[in-house]
Amino acid sequence: MNEVQRLPCEAIDSETAIERHDSSRPLGMVFVPGGTFRMGSDRHYPEERPVHRVAVDGFWIDRTPVTNHDFRKFVNAAGYVTFAEIKPDAKDYPGALPHMLKAGSLVFTPPSHANWRRPYGPRSTISGLDDHPVVHIAYRDAEAYAKWAGKELPTEAEWEFAARGGHDGAEYAWGDEFTPDGRRMANTWQGAFPHKNVATDGHQRTSPVMAFPPNGYGVYDMIGNVWEWTTDWWSRRHEADAPKACCIPENPRGGPETASHDPCQPQIRIPRKVLKGGSHLCAPNYCRRYRPAARHAEPVDTSTSHVGFRCVLRERTMS
Ligand SMILES: [Ca+2]
């Protein structure tokens, strides 16, 4: 096992999110003071470029991704049914063969008909995975949970700012070294993806949300474990850096929905959102996206075994 750093259970908010310790501190959330930071990276994939300055107001963010325990409370209270549990409507997928229109979600190792209750297919359960991130969550499922909890989903800029933990411009959420002093800081993939997962970090699949150390803001699991939804529509690259400090974008919310479609599949008009943080499937030989600047395009109707989410609260929402 990896070096597990856990807080006492009571530190995890297991009650409804809008309940608070006092009038100003939402349970299970961490305050990220606002500021200006360098978003993106010029050292990796094209979609992370260019590095550009962005300003965000202060906000609260969930200390961990939403867990199976949290999500079950929502489903039970609201009677909610996730996207992966509903049979697709043929009119939403013109040209799809009838046998393909089945309820389900994508899992890295093939079994079909997976959903959040059965993350690895029909014979799997989430028993014993209460403190793991909920997975198989389509964008609208994440939105529905956030609304129920009295919260919102983060923008890409908010998410990346929180993930950096005050290490502006650093490669990773904890600094410039991937494994400082040989220590594993996040649940990623060790070995050659996809055939060999040696799991020297102790986890073949998802891990408990506080299994690795928090970042500088006291936030857990921003990197690795599961990708996380943000509200921004996908864009192929970032805006250029502002020529003057006066013109730095404040609280940017991404580009237009129409630009988020996949140009390689023009017949499919399903818009895509930005995912952040990488997952337990990210391996050095395949996808070095276990960094705050990394981003990935995900169609809003797609849910998989390595995508989850967390929520934020903005000051104006609280007032
Ligand atoms: Ca792992």
Rounded distance from Cα 222 to ligand 1 centre (Å)? 14
Residue 130 Cα, ligand 1 centroid: separation in angstroms? 18
CATH number of 220's domain: 3.90.1580.10
Calculate mean pLDDT across residues 102-112.
Answer: 62
- Residue 107: per-residue pLDDT: 60
Rounded to an integer, what distance in angstroms lies between the CA atom of residue 122 and that of residue 117?
9
Ligand 1 centroid to 283 CA: how many Å? 9
To the nearest 5 percent, what fractions of the chain are helix, strand and coil?
Answer: 20, 15, 65
Q: Which residue has the higher pLDDT, 315 or 138?
A: 138
Q: What total of structural domains would you count in the chain? A: 1
So what's the pLDDT on residue 162? 98
pLDDT tens track for 31-44: 999 999 999 999 99
Distance between CA atoms of residues 251 and 23, nearest Å? 25
pLDDT at 218 over 90: yes
The pTM is what? 0.88
pLDDT at residue 8 greater than cutoff 80: no
Say whether pLDDT at 91 is over 90.
no
**Residue numbers of the domain that contains 46:** 1-319
CB 316 within 8 A of CB 59: no
Distance 23 CA to ligand 1 centre (A): 38
Q: Ligand 1 centroid vs 279 CA: distance in angstroms? A: 9
Tell me the C-alpha to C-alpha distance, in Å, between residue 150 and each of 20, 122, 314.
12, 32, 11
If you count DSSP H runs as helices and E runs as strands, how many of each does the chain have, helices first? 4, 9
CA of 285 to the centre of ligand 1 (A): 14
Q: Which helix (H) or strand (E) holds 32?
A: strand 29-32
The two three-digit tokens of residue 251, written as one number: 């609280």
Model confidence over 250-309: pLDDT tens digits?
999 999 999 999 988 888 889 999 999 999 999 999 899 999 999 999 999 999 999 999
* pLDDT computed for residue 89 by the predictor: 78
Query: Residue 187 forms beta bridges with which residues?
Result: 224
User: How far does residue 112's CA lie from ligand 1's centre (Å)?
Assistant: 23
Q: How far is the CA of 16 from the centre of ligand 1 (A)?
A: 30
